[in-house]
Amino acid sequence: MSKGKLQKFAEMETFSNVFQFPYSAMEGVTFEMKGRWREDYFHNQNPIVLELGCGKGEYTVGLAKLYPEVNFIGVDIKGARMHTGAKQALDEGLSNAAFLRTNIEIIDRFFAPGEVQEIWLTFSDPQMKNPRKRLSSTSFMERYRHFLADGGIIHLKTDSNFLFTYTTYMVERNRLPLLFRTEDLYHTDGIDPETRKILSIQTYYEAQWIDRGLNIRYMKFRLPHSGTLEEPDVEIPLDEYRSYKRTKRSGLSTSK
């Protein structure tokens, strides 16, 4: 590990807005703030919104600035990236922004039923070879049901046609209420001002993809608690390009 990363990890240990509980640290451990984020950290009764796979935390910080009456928590396992957003939030006094460094596979260990109102999935790894690792898969939807309010909203913003197409089929197959969907976010007319304000936040990597002429796709849908979720049984063309610092994950042309 580089000296710079070591320094960031050391600094994060002192950040009051960061909670670090990777999978290895959760063996036989109960997260004491589960069900008590509002009382013990935010000290209010405002809604809680998660950004899963928050990277540098641009969305967590950006949303916290736009909506001081809402609590935002960025979640990622990569602490060196998270350091950027966590430090910015501290420097700017954003008391409604927090960060949780953990594996998203165990996200349901940190929140009680109904404790979260919305989830953002911003430029998640499409995981073209392994559907169970996709953050919009039915296996993750079942995890989200453990703590997301009944009918809570899930936002997906992505450059990946594969992930967007997969999620579209997943939503259709399970008849999840679709609230909005566009395959070209920045060239779509009729987006209401409030939604456009939220979507104006751009991550570092998003700016790279826009410069390369890639479409940014966005959808939001509700996740009811009722009903058995089923995976869509369809073949989806793999992304033909190499996303920023990602490699094409299969020699095949399609995947489920």
Q: Give the residue numbers marked as catalytic.
A: 125
Nearest-CA neighbor of 132 among 221, 56, 229, 28?
229
Which alpha helices (DSSP H) does the chain contain, by range? 3-12, 37, 58-66, 79-91, 138-145, 161-173, 193-199, 204-211
> Which residue carries 């509980």 as its tokens?
21
Give me 32's structure tokens: 């004491």
Please name which of 162, 142, 38, 62 lies closest in space to residue 154, comparing C-alpha atoms: 142
Angle (CA) 164 125 1, round 5°: 165
